[in-house]
Amino acid sequence: MQADLIFRNARLIDGTGSAAQTGDLAVSGVRIVAMGALPDWRGGREIDCGGQVLAPGFIDPHVHNDLAVLTDPGMDSVVSQGVTSIINGNCGFSIAPLRTGDALPDPMGMLFGKTPPVFARFADYRARLESEPPAVNSACLIGHGTLRVNEVGDLARAADAAETKAMAASLDQALSDGGIGLSTGPFYPPARASSTDELIAMARITQSHGRLYVTHMRDEGDRVIEALEETLEIGRSACCGVHVSHHKCAGLANFGMSETTLGMIDRARTEQTVGLDTTPWTASSTMLNSGRHRQASKVLIAESLPHPECAGRDLAEIAAEWGTDIDTALERLLPATGIFFIMDEADVQRILSYEHTMICSDGIAGGSHPHPRVWGTFSRVLGHYVRDVGLFTLEEAVRRMTSLPADWFGLDGRGRLEVGAFADLVLFDPDTIREGATYQTPVRPALGIQCVFVNGREVWNGQGATGNRPGSFLIGA
Ligand code: ZN
C-alpha cells in the first residue's frame, strides 16, 4: 500500500479525548488514509516520530486575523504553535461585508488598518482567500459592528427598524455566502448603543442558518453577570446557540466571580445551547482607552500609532517620564492597544478547567510588541497548564483544541485523527513543549513543535516556515 506521507512510531492523540495509542498514520493528498500499525504501507516520505505526539492540528476559534491572512499569509504566529484552522471576524468586527474603508471607528481602524481592502460582499472576501490562500485554514464570522458601520446612521444610538432590517438582510446574505456565524461586541463603541432587541434580531437570522451567536459580551468586569444574563436571554429569545468569547472576570473586585458565571452557564446548558472559549493568561489586551486601566494592576503598551517607541513599555513609567498623570499619558498614546494585568489566576484556571471550555488566543498577528498570547497560547496550555500544573490530561487538552471547536462550529472533517479526515496535523514533544513568547519578548515561536501540516502539506518544520500556502476557506456544515 502506497501513501504520500507516513508518520511512523507516533503517540497518536486523536482529538476525541481518548487515551493515546502508539501507531502510524498515512496521508495521501489532503486526507488521512490509514492509521494504526502499517507495516505493509510505504510512503513517498516517511517521518519517524520517535514516540512523540501526533495530534490533529489545533483550531483557534477566536482570532482577529481577517486582514493578516491576506497581508501576512505565512501566518507564522499561528502555525508555529500547531494551529491549522482559525476563526476570524470576532468581537463584532469582520473585514467583510464592508462598504467603505474610510474613517473606520476604533477598534476597527486598529484591526483592519487605515486603508483596509474593501470587500462589499462577503463572497468577495471568500473569493480572494480561495484564489490567494494563506498557510492556515480560515473561517470567518460576520461582525455585527461591521454591519452597524455599514447601515446605522449614528453609531451612538440603537438601530431603528429600517436599519435593523438592512443589517438583517446583509447578515442573511453573508451567511449564505459562507460566513460561519455571527459575532457581536456590545462592549465596543461601534456597538455599545445597540439594544438587546437589536442583537436578538441578528441572532434570529443566525439561527435560521443553523449558526451560532458569538459574543464579546457587553461587560467582562463589574457587570459581567448582567452581560452573561443578556447573552443567555438573546439565545433563548432567538432559539440560537450562544458562545461567550474569551470568558473572563476582569478587575480585582471581580476575582472569584467565575464560580458564579460558570454556574450560570452550567444551568443554562440544561435548556439552551451555550459554549465558551478562554485564553490561558491573567492579562487581557484591547484598546488602550477601554477603561480597563482603572481595573488593572499594571498596563503595558502593545502598540501606539503616535508613539511606536512606547510598545512594550509600562504605562505608569511612561507617565512618570513625561511628567503627566496616567490619563494624560494614555490620551497622548491613542490610538493604541494595551496589555492589562486584570485577572485572577484562580479564575483563569477555573475557566480553563470547565469541561466545555475551548482554548483561544484572541490573537492579532503583527505588531512589534503584541500580547504573548499571539505566539504562545496553545503551547502554554500544553506545557504550563497540562505538564507543569496538571490542570487536565494531554488528551483532554487536545480535545479542547480540536474536536470540541470543530464540532461546535461545524468544521466537518477537522479536529480528529481518523481515516477520511483532512490531514491537518501537529507533531510535538510533550516533555518540552512550552511557549517561547513572554510579556517582555512576545514575538517568539513555541518550543517543542516538530512539524505542522495543513491539508497534507507541511507549513512549519523544526527550522521554521516552509512557505507552503495550503489553507482552505472553511464555510462549515
Ligand atoms: Zn473580544
Please tell me the predicted confidence (pLDDT) of residue 337: 92
Residues 225 and 88 reside in one and the same domain? yes
Residues 284 and 297 reside in one and the same domain? no
CA of 245 relative to ligand 1 center, distance in Å: 7
Percent of the chain surpassing pLDDT 70: 100
Please tell me the predicted confidence (pLDDT) of residue 202: 98
Q: In this predicted model, what pLDDT tens digit does every residue of 291-318 receive, in sequence order? A: 999 989 999 999 999 999 999 999 999 9
Residues 220 and 267 reside in one and the same domain? yes
Residues 347 and 330 reside in one and the same domain? no
Please tell me the predicted confidence (pLDDT) of residue 462: 82
| Domain extent for 320 | 290-339
CA of 397 relative to ligand 1 center, distance in Å: 22
Percent of the chain surpassing pLDDT 90: 94
CA of 185 relative to ligand 1 center, distance in Å: 7
CA of 40 relative to ligand 1 center, distance in Å: 49
Label residue 103 by pLDDT band (50, 70, 90).
confident
- Quick check: is 39 in a domain? no
Cell numbers 462549515 correspond to what residue? Answer: 476
DSSP assignments along 317-347, one per residue? HHHHHHTS-HHHHHHHH-SEEEEEE---HHH
Label residue 101 by pLDDT band (50, 70, 90).
confident
Cα separation of 438 and 424, whole Å? 27
Please state, in angstroms and as integers, the Cα–Cα distance from residue 34 to each residue in 39, 40, 184, following that order.
Answer: 11, 11, 41
- Quick check: is 284 in a domain? yes
Q: Which helix (H) or strand (E) holds 201?
A: helix 196-208
Residue of higher predicted confidence among 114 and 405: 405
CA of 47 relative to ligand 1 center, distance in Å: 39
Among candidate residues 229, 139, 237, 243, the one with its CA nearest the CA of residue 185: 243
CA of 362 relative to ligand 1 center, distance in Å: 7
Cα separation of 475 and 330, whole Å? 40
Mean pLDDT score, 359-387? 95
We report the CATH number of the domain holding residue 124 as 3.20.20.140
CA of 286 relative to ligand 1 center, distance in Å: 8
CA of 186 relative to ligand 1 center, distance in Å: 10
Residues 295 and 284 reside in one and the same domain? no
Cell numbers 439552551 correspond to what residue? Answer: 272
Question: Coil, strand, or helix at residue 84?
Answer: strand
Please tell me the predicted confidence (pLDDT) of residue 339: 95
Please tell me the predicted confidence (pLDDT) of residue 106: 87
Q: Is 455 exposed, middle or buried (0-12, 13-18, 19+ CB in 10 A)?
A: buried
CA of 247 relative to ligand 1 center, distance in Å: 9
Parallel, antiparallel, or unpaired: how do β-strands 242-244 and 212-215 relate? parallel
Cα separation of 175 and 359, whole Å? 25
- Quick check: is 177 in a domain? yes
Number of domains in the chain: 2
Please tell me the predicted confidence (pLDDT) of residue 16: 98
In this predicted structure, the answer to whether residue 58 has a pLDDT above a threshold of 90 is yes
Mean pLDDT score, 246-269? 97
Mean pLDDT score, 104-129? 92
Mean pLDDT score, 348-358? 98
CA of 18 relative to ligand 1 center, distance in Å: 32
* Amino acid (one-letter) located at 48: D
Residues 200 and 319 reside in one and the same domain? no
CA of 90 relative to ligand 1 center, distance in Å: 7
Please tell me the predicted confidence (pLDDT) of residue 456: 98
CA of 217 relative to ligand 1 center, distance in Å: 8
CA of 183 relative to ligand 1 center, distance in Å: 10
* Amino acid (one-letter) located at 86: I
CA of 26 relative to ligand 1 center, distance in Å: 38
Please tell me the predicted confidence (pLDDT) of residue 240: 98
Label residue 473 by pLDDT band (50, 70, 90).
very high
Domain boundary among 412, 438, 472: 412
Mean pLDDT score, 323-342? 95
DSSP character at residue 118:
P
Indicate the pTM of the whole model: 0.97
Residues 79 and 152 reside in one and the same domain? yes
Mean pLDDT score, 88-92? 98
DSSP assignments along 429-460, one per residue? -TTT-B----SSS---PPBSEEEEEETTEEEE
Residues 256 and 324 reside in one and the same domain? no
CA of 220 relative to ligand 1 center, distance in Å: 10
Among candidate residues 374, 401, 371, 62, the one with its CA nearest the CA of residue 245: 62
In this predicted structure, the answer to whether residue 110 has a pLDDT above a threshold of 90 is no
In this predicted structure, the answer to whether residue 34 has a pLDDT above a threshold of 90 is yes
We report the CATH number of the domain holding residue 301 as 3.30.1490.130
CA of 445 relative to ligand 1 center, distance in Å: 23
- Quick check: is 186 in a domain? yes
Residues 344 and 297 reside in one and the same domain? no
Average pLDDT, the chain: 96
Cell numbers 488566543 correspond to what residue? Answer: 361
CA of 107 relative to ligand 1 center, distance in Å: 10
- Quick check: is 441 in a domain? no
Residue of higher predicted confidence among 109 and 24: 24
Residues 285 and 298 reside in one and the same domain? no
Domain boundary among 412, 445, 461: 412
Label residue 282 by pLDDT band (50, 70, 90).
very high
Residues 324 and 217 reside in one and the same domain? no
Collect all residues with Cβ–Cβ distance below 8 Å to 165 and sequence separation of at least 6. none
CA of 476 relative to ligand 1 center, distance in Å: 22
In this predicted structure, the answer to whether residue 474 has a pLDDT above a threshold of 90 is yes
CA of 262 relative to ligand 1 center, distance in Å: 19
Domain boundary among 412, 440, 460: 412
Question: Coil, strand, or helix at residue 377?
Answer: helix
Residues 203 and 102 reside in one and the same domain? yes
- Quick check: is 40 in a domain? no
CA of 252 relative to ligand 1 center, distance in Å: 20
CA of 22 relative to ligand 1 center, distance in Å: 39
CA of 216 relative to ligand 1 center, distance in Å: 5
Length of the chain: 477
- Quick check: is 428 in a domain? no
In this predicted structure, the answer to whether residue 89 has a pLDDT above a threshold of 90 is yes
Mean pLDDT score, 243-253? 96
Q: What is the CA radius of gyration of the chain?
A: 22
- Quick check: is 146 in a domain? yes
Mean pLDDT score, 313-338? 96
